[in-house]
Amino acid sequence: MPPIPPVTQPICLIENDVGKKMRVNPEAQKILEKISHPLVLVSIVGPYRSGKSSLINMLAGDQRGGFPVGHTVEAKTRGIWMRCVPRSDHTLILLDTEGLGDVMKGSQHNDFAVLSLAMLISSVMIYNEKTTINQDALEKLYKMSEQSEWILDRKAREDGDVGGWEESPLFIWVVRDFTLKLELGAGPISEDEYLENSLKDITPEKSPNTQYKNEIRRALRAMFPVRKCFQFGVPTSSTQSVEDKGNLQEDFVRKSKELSQYIHENAKVKTLQGGQPMTGPILGKLIPKYIDVVSTNNISILVDQISHISVEHNEQIIASATKLYEDKMGSKFINTEREFQDLHDACMDEAMRYFQGCYFKDPNEEWTKSEDKLKTTLMKKKDDVWKMWKDSSEKTCKDLIQRLSESLKLKPDQQHYHAAGGHQKFTRDKNRLVSEYNKEAKKGVMAEHVLQDYLKEIEPMEEIIKQTEKKLSEKKNQEYKVDNMTDTGQLSRYISNYRLENRNYDSILIQMIGFVGHGKSSLVNSCLYAMSSKGFQDRAGEGRTNEAETMIRKAYPLTETMVLVDNPGFTKLDSCEIFAQLNNCVGLSKDMVWGVNEGLEPITERKVNKPDIIVPVLIHSAKYSLNDQEFTSMKELITSSHKRSRIMPFVVLTNRQDAKSDVLKELEGKFHKMHVEQIHAIENYTRSDHVAIRKQHLDILTFLYYVLQNVDFIF
């Protein structure tokens, strides 16, 4: 809570009207309740018409206005008035008391009550007296001290114990209109020496009267262990008003500044037992009890009240610290449990620091009990706040998933998932939902938990879709079952309708690898021709013998499931070339160039969510044998391809018609030694020779059929 704004005009703090009991002004209490800063309380006491109000106005830096200043024998100040002056780390409260010896009050008890209240309230007490330090003033202060000693525990301080209920205020004796020379014996003395000389014992102590005077001096020295003296000359000429600052004597102004500076440097915050700083709310509650104490001489009133205030104050501090924690915890949006814990730790530390700074340090109460109570309260609030964050986040996330699932029609009763390709559609929609869900901001601490719960919830639905699709696929495959391997129609229908719908793969990639000029591109054209109802087209770019036409990987869709991939050929086979070929035997990426499909525009990008099945196919011309070095390298290529793809590479021997039978037989034998199981001798269609022949079609379709059979066996 910030300090209150400057209170430029004084307000009566304690009312003391003639014939009535002293009481606290409720309006002043309201002001005190707003002052959370520690208080430095400076009071001024002394005979009426001695210039107290004008002096305290000067301390406030306000010669005009402020506390009322009188010019007649009638006392202007009744009771105790206060003026609040905010400082950076405390609030200065100036207290102007009614004058002592007012004949209108006619009661010494009233004077002693005012003096005692000023002493109890203040951290600095200024006694303002005219002319000299005299015996009458000492006796008034002594009687006040006698009335207050049971409150301030003077005896304990005399014994060296500073554990009384209150600390004695800093005592300043201001002697006004001082005209004497500060000399003692043969030399000058200081103002403080003048005060100390006035308070020292009179010797020799022979008479009862002297003993009484010394008793007074000893009591005052004990009552005010820290004391200071300031002497002021006459402020103005006899014809001028003290209200007019321009008329003040130069020495008087200088002395006022010295007094103000001394108070500024030496005045301390008012503290209670245990070092508890006095604040506005505490002072407002204690003043009525101070009045009761000086009126009844019943110390238990104050003891009980301080204990009550400490308990009440600490309960309020615990409530305020808890509110601070709650406000801070609600000031930042939380996305994760880690963020929540970090925020809790920071808010917990701040609340505990606030509590420790404002806690009422009552020695009769173990502060750890209140601290433990606050910690328990904050941990309970932590659980409440965490539940609030969880509940709010859970609702937000569930509503978001509900909205996304409706927009994507991702529901169990959607029949379009229970059909061919349904699982692929379902997976695509599920991934889209997850992507859109993750893009949404401020989902809160339950975001991942709710998403995983949802994905787990739809697992049975996904399994049903997979099983349904599997049955449909099996039924479909049964419909297109090949009973006669010489029937090109059956083979073609089986290959065209083959699907991977019940497996977690996107496509079957037939990766063509081999020497330059051995017919890879021609085999691509031949497969497309055998599976098409249209005529032959050189879509792969048929090359010339021993010259490479394919310079980059190109892909050609054969069916909805199968893709032919034509890779650049190699001129020699060594470890570097094997590595290059193996790098080509991977799934399709965005840098893949797709061939034109039946007059459509070339496809340059392919987005898939699942991996491809790689089927390596080595194309080798039956006209060329393998030497020993090529055999060894070819075996390494086939073995490495097998390990990478899980499918033993197929071997397609091209140019069968032009090959010598012994060379063809030798090649087949060498590839068998490499553990190749599928060796197909095929005559490719070419630009110059592409008249459809049943035997050529049958060889090509048989090769594609066994590719699918191997896929079924492995995957």
pLDDT of residue 701: 96
Give a yes or no: residue 589 inside a domain: yes
Same domain (yes/no): 570, 707:
yes
pLDDT of residue 76: 54
Same domain (yes/no): 367, 259:
no
Distance from C-alpha of 566 to C-alpha of 128, rounded to nearest angstrom: 111
pLDDT higher than threshold 70 for residue 538: yes
Same domain (yes/no): 407, 467:
yes
Tokens coding 440: 């949404």
Specify the pTM. 0.52
Same domain (yes/no): 37, 91:
yes
pLDDT in tens, 134-175: 888 888 888 776 655 545 554 344 444 444 445 688 999 998
pLDDT of residue 502: 64
Alpha helix ranges (H) inside 487-519: 488-497
Give a yes or no: residue 339 inside a domain: yes
Same domain (yes/no): 134, 266:
yes
pLDDT of residue 78: 79
pLDDT of residue 181: 78
Q: Under DSSP, is residue 434 helix (H, G, I), strand (E, B) or coil?
A: helix
Distance from C-alpha of 534 to C-alpha of 531, rounded to nearest angstrom: 9
pLDDT higher than threshold 60 for residue 69: no
User: Which stretches does DSSP call E strand in 177-285?
Assistant: 183-184, 187-188, 227-231
Same domain (yes/no): 37, 119:
yes
Of 113-122, 234-243, 381-390, 581-590, the range with the lowest mean pLDDT is 234-243
Residue range of the domain that includes 333: 301-390
Q: Which of 560, 497, 488 is nearest to 530 (CA)?
A: 488
pLDDT higher than threshold 80 for residue 583: no
Give a yes or no: residue 329 inside a domain: yes
Same domain (yes/no): 662, 513:
yes
Same domain (yes/no): 286, 308:
no
Between 388 and 75, the more confident residue is: 388
Give, as one character, the DSSP assignment of residue 415: G
Any idea of the CA torsion for 373, 374, 380, 384, to the nearest 10 degrees? Answer: 150
Same domain (yes/no): 54, 178:
yes
Q: Given the structure tokens 């709310």, which residue do they identify? A: 281
Tokens coding 314: 């600490």
Distance from C-alpha of 94 to C-alpha of 100, rounded to nearest angstrom: 18
Across 628-634, average pLDDT = 91
Of 88-102, 402-416, 452-466, 543-557, the range with the lowest mean pLDDT is 543-557
Give a yes or no: residue 3 inside a domain: no
pLDDT of residue 394: 92
List, in order, residues 6 or more apart from 90 with CB less than 8 Å away: 37, 38, 39, 40, 269
Give a yes or no: residue 213 inside a domain: no
Q: How many CB atoms lie within 10 A of CB 627?
A: 9
Same domain (yes/no): 368, 425:
no
Same domain (yes/no): 57, 151:
yes
pLDDT bucket at 291, cuts 50 / 70 / 90: confident
Of 399-408, 467-476, 562-571, highest mean pLDDT: 562-571
Distance from C-alpha of 64 to C-alpha of 85, rounded to nearest angstrom: 16
pLDDT in tens, 366-418: 656 788 889 999 999 999 999 999 999 999 999 999 888 887 666 655 667 77
Same domain (yes/no): 20, 155:
yes
Report phi then psi at 673, rounded to 5. Answer: -65, -25
Tell me the pLDDT of the chain averaged across its residues: 82
- Sign of the CA dihedral 564, 565, 570, 574? negative
pLDDT higher than threshold 80 for residue 179: no
Give a yes or no: residue 336 inside a domain: yes
List, in order, residues 6 or more apart from 275 with CB less than 8 Å away: 361
Last residue of a domain, one of 295, 313, 334: 295
Q: Which of 471, 450, 460 is nearest to 412 (CA)?
A: 460
Q: Under DSSP, is residue 57 helix (H, G, I), strand (E, B) or coil?
A: helix
Count of the separate structural domains present in the chain: 4
